[in-house]
Structure 1
Amino acid sequence: MLFLGFAAGLPLLLVGGTFTAWLRDLGVELVAIGFLSWVGMAHSIKIFWAPVVDRMSLPVLTRVLGRRRAWMILAQSVIALGLLGIALTDPREQLWLVAVWAVLTAFGSATQDIAIDAYRIEAVSRDRQGAMAAAYIFGYRVALLAAGAGALHLAAVGDWSLSYGVMAGLMAVGVITTLIIREPEVAIDQHTRQLEQRVVDYLDRTTHRGWRRRLTAWFIGAVVCPFADFWYRYGRTALLVLLFVALFRISDIFMGVMANPFYLDLGFSKTEIANIAAAFGLAMTLTGAALGGLLVMRFGITRMLIATACLAPLTNLTFSWLATLGPELYGLAFAIMADNLSGGLAISVFIAYLSSLTNSAYTATQYALFSSIMTLPGQFLAGFTGILVEQVGWVWFFVSSALIGLPAIVLAILIAHLANPDQVTRPGRPDPHPVRH
């Protein structure tokens, strides 16, 4: 998972922040750069082709590697090809071709995420999901460092073609890992068999024949069944679960957009921000992620969900304190430590929770749904953060970011009573190591 996490994180900045820096460095107009930033939306709409990754077999590859590994290899090959294409294309002469390569890379990256998430959930039992998430996050963050600072340094000593060429070569980390690991074994529980049998019974009664019958069968099995299964298992609490998924990280996402502008406005230098907010912050995030994996195994998902839901608003208040303190390095270090440590902890715990919600028969589709819902509200509200800062100032902005995290605490407590993840066995995989309280 460490190496798969690296493969998942590597393309993100290469079609995001690093990509826009490269274009601007070569003199591409800001309007064009703005439009090209839309390629990153592939990760937000991956739910639309997740059912294909979940259920469709790839010729030859699926037979040789298995369902999950086949899609991983295909996606990793597409990413490497896209990055190599970017490296060999001059945006000053063929900007349209750069856009094609970037879109190809972004869709390959989102597809790889779908397959890796499914593999991570299916490979181990529920109580080990926290450890898997911690390893994944560690690799992911290291990849962000390589694709951000690493790519910029390579471009400085050589050129951008060298930088993107090296990044394309680093995708070999994911390819080699995928070839080494084993395809996870997934059992189908009785409820899922009954659900699938209803699809078969329906097809026996339908008058559709030929391609219409095959298309209907695929659509019901790949799209309808995953959602029907989730609603069947959680009943009326399904809406509560989805609302909790949408609001759990809203406080962090809402605040995070304005973090760097806040540091600069307060008077910190770019070097201080890079050393403390970036380097030290990364170390704290990785520490929090590792700690989260261990704590989930020791205390279970439920109690850690409540704890991390409480930590997010509390740590946001440290930035209000920093705003009153001014550009003091010890204040910045404390705020970064508190925020990134709790953020890494929360991500690790929440990935374990989202994994517990899935049925192994529909892992890719269901997890893609949850991960899309997780970021959407925060990203939407983040667009208004600049207006809020101008109206109320930095101190009350961070107080506001803490307040919008309070509903997640209430929902975490309700989830613990109505849909306790530690008391539900994930369909499709028995849990041989139940959490003991």
Structure 2
Amino acid sequence: MTDSLPPDDGRVFHPTRMLICVILGFTSGLPLFILLNLVQAWLRSEHVDLKAIGLFALIQFPYTWKFLWAPLMDRFAPNVFGWKPGRRRGWMFVTQLLVAGVVALMGTYSPQRDLMTIAALAAALAFFSASLDISLDAYRRELLSDREQGLGTAMHVNAYKVAGLVPGSLALIMADHLPWSQVFFATAAFMLPGIVMTLVVKEPAIRGTPPKTLREAVVEPFHEFVTRGGWTKALLVLAFIFLYKLGDSMATSLATSFYLDLGFTKTQIGVVAKATSLWASVAGGIIGGVWLIKLGINRGLWVFGVLQLVSVLGFAWLAKAGPVVTGLGAVIAFEAFTAGLGTAAFTAYIARTTDPRYTATQFALFTSLASVPRTFANAGTGYIVDGVGWVTFFLICTVLAVPGMLLLPKVAPWGADDDDGDGVPAASGSR
């Protein structure tokens, strides 16, 4: 596996690079789903109080604040016992080892006796996982040409989602037959493909001059972004990143509670909702990546954004229709499919907006901003539903999807060339 292929040799995409994106996506998603699914199931099966389990949600903060230490990963390249793998591969290798080690170690403790130790390990896992995301996002951005960003991002995101099947399904099945220590060790072993890939691939070619000082690593990424098109355009881009997925994110934040309130059984939710959502989202991501090659990122944001907005109205219809199983499957499939389309275009847009000299810092900043609705805005959705009901709530979510669309003429004009159509002039190192 190598990335020695020239960035623009006439091919629309390189299969080897797409395979790398798949492995990177799986490696990125695994630790997050361990925190969200496996740790929660482990604690509850060991009779830990629900309030204590709920507090474990706070460990996701590193994913929101990862831009604070991303400049360090742009500035410094790890030296692994004399081996110098490079800036991106070095951090990928170190953080993957740390993630695997913490996961394997976590299962050796008892939730009844060592809950605080487990909480500390979970916090460490979140920090190492967020740091791994910084290095993987930077590597993928520098590996792919602008034309490959859409499909490569789709491959990454879909593999990320599929990774959730390991801690969310396979590990839970193993837990019925094996001690938890062995379950965590086996789950940690799924980090090995990413570690091996990191050893085999080459460091992406450096475009531009990487930061030589810590001050340059911290200040220049923000200075470059602002001066590229001025404060007004920079703020428009940041507002778009915050708003584009807001309505869709809020609409699905209480999905399981919504299905239960309508009267669907847990089996119906598990079979119809969860399975349909995963595979429809994967299909949307793959098809979205392919369509982006033809449409371009700008047009993709327009088309997929409209479909994403319309899909939220499906939930309002379902709230009126009641517990109709076929309606549940149709609404969920359409929403997950369009969300996959939108995510493919949105993540490709973020990648294109970064300057390759400061990929880690700018990518971390943009993705952190995009995660704010999921982390904070969604916290108030329960109060909204309690006050206005489900139908009105979904109509509100639909309205909240509009402002992001209204910014598209400024940040991603329909007819603009994708090399400079992000509302700010193209980054100097972009290709």
**TM-score, normalization: structure 2?**
0.90
State the one-letter code of the partner of 1:54.
D
- CA spacing shift, 1:75–1:269, aligned 2, 3 Å: same
Instruction: Please report how far the alpha carbon of residue 102 of structure 1 lies from its aligned counterpart in structure 2 after TM superposition.
Output: 1.4
Q: What residue in structure 2 maps to residue 87 of structure 1? A: 107
Map Cα deviations across residues 254-291 of structure 1 (whole Å, 9 max, x no partner).
11111110111111111111112111211110110011
Aligned match for 1:368, one of 361, 364, 374: 364
Partner of 2:429: 428
Matches within 5 A, 1:23-422: 23-60=43-80, 64-188=84-208, 218-235=213-230, 236-417=232-413, 420=416, 422=418
Q: Which amino acid aligns with 1:159?
A: P
Paired amino acid for 1:276: V
5+ residue gaps, structure 1: 197-216, 431-437
| 3-state SS, counterpart of residue 206 of structure 2 | coil
> Structure 1 residues 80 and 47, CA, compared in 2 at 3 Å: closer, same or farther?
same
Q: What RMSD in Å do the two structures reach over aligned CA positions?
A: 1.9
In 2, the alpha carbon distance for the partners of 1:335 and 1:27 equals 36
- 1:421 deviates by 6.5
CA deviation map 1:393-430 (0-9, x unaligned): 11111111111101011011222349957142443243
Looking at structure 2, the residues matched to 151 and 250 of structure 1 have their Cα atoms a distance apart, in angstroms, of 32
Whole-Å separation in 2 of the counterparts to 1:371 and 1:416: 18
User: Are 1:250 and 1:375, in contact at CA under 8 Å, matched by a contact in 2?
Assistant: no
Q: After alignment, is 256-265 or 16-25 more displaced?
A: 16-25
**Larger deviation, residues 335-344 vs 59-68:** 59-68
* Distance change (3 Å), C-alpha of 1:62 and 1:182: farther
Shift of 1:388: 1.3
Cα distance 1:365–1:74, how it changes in 2: closer, same or farther (>3 A)? same
Deviations 1:53-101 (A, max 9, x none): 1111212479532110110010000001100111111121222221222
Instruction: State the secondary structure of the residue aligned to 1:90.
Output: coil
Which piece of structure 1 moves more, 179-188 or 61-70?
61-70
Residue 37 of structure 1, CA deviation = 2.6
SS in 2 for 1:185: coil
1:253·1:379 contact (CA, 8 Å) conserved in 2?
no
- Contact 1:61-1:70 within 8 A present in 2 as well: no
Q: The residue matched to 1:409 in structure 2 has which SS?
A: helix
Does the CA contact (< 8 Å) of 2:28 and 2:160 recur in 1?
A: yes
Alignment correspondent of 2:15:
none
Amino acid at match of 2:322: G
1:346 CA drift (Å): 0.7
CA contact (8 A) 1:288 1:341 kept: yes
The answer to whether the aligner puts 1:5 opposite 2:25 as a matched pair is yes
Sort the Cα spacing of 1:421 and 1:158 in 2 relative to 1 into closer, same or farther, 3 A: farther
Rounded to whole Å, the distance in 1 between the matches of 2:327 and 2:82 is 53
Q: Structure 2: which amino acid aligns with 1:305?
A: L
Unaligned stretches of 5+ in structure 2?
Answer: 1-20, 421-425
Task: Give the % identical residues.
Answer: 36
State the distance in 1 between where 2:101 and 2:120 align.
11
TM-score normalised over the length of structure 1: 0.89
Q: Aligned equivalents of 1:95 and 1:258: distance in 2?
A: 28
Q: How far off is 1:21 after superposition?
A: 2.1
TM-fit CA distance, 1:133:
0.6
Q: Which one-letter code corresponds to 1:224 in the other structure?
A: V
Q: Deviations over 1:16-48 (max 9, x none)?
A: 232122112102223432333322211111111
How many equivalent pairs are there?
405
CA distance in structure 1 between the partners assigned to 2:143 and 2:415 by the alignment: 23
Q: CA deviation at 1:13?
A: 2.1
Bigger radius of gyration among the two: 1
Paired residue type of 1:126: D
Does the aligned pair in 1 maintain the 2:24–2:194 contact within 8 Å? yes
* Structure 2 CA distance for partners of 1:421 and 1:377, relative to 1, 3 Å: farther
Structure 1 stretches of at least 4 aligned residues deviating more than 6 Å after TM superposition: none
Compared CA separation, residues 123 and 62, structure 1 to 2 (3 A): farther
Deviation, structure 1 residue 370? 0.2
Distance 2:49 2:354 in 1: 44
Query: C-alpha distance in 2, partners of 1:168/1:116?
Result: 18
| 8 Å Cα contact 2:100/2:188 also seen in 1 | yes
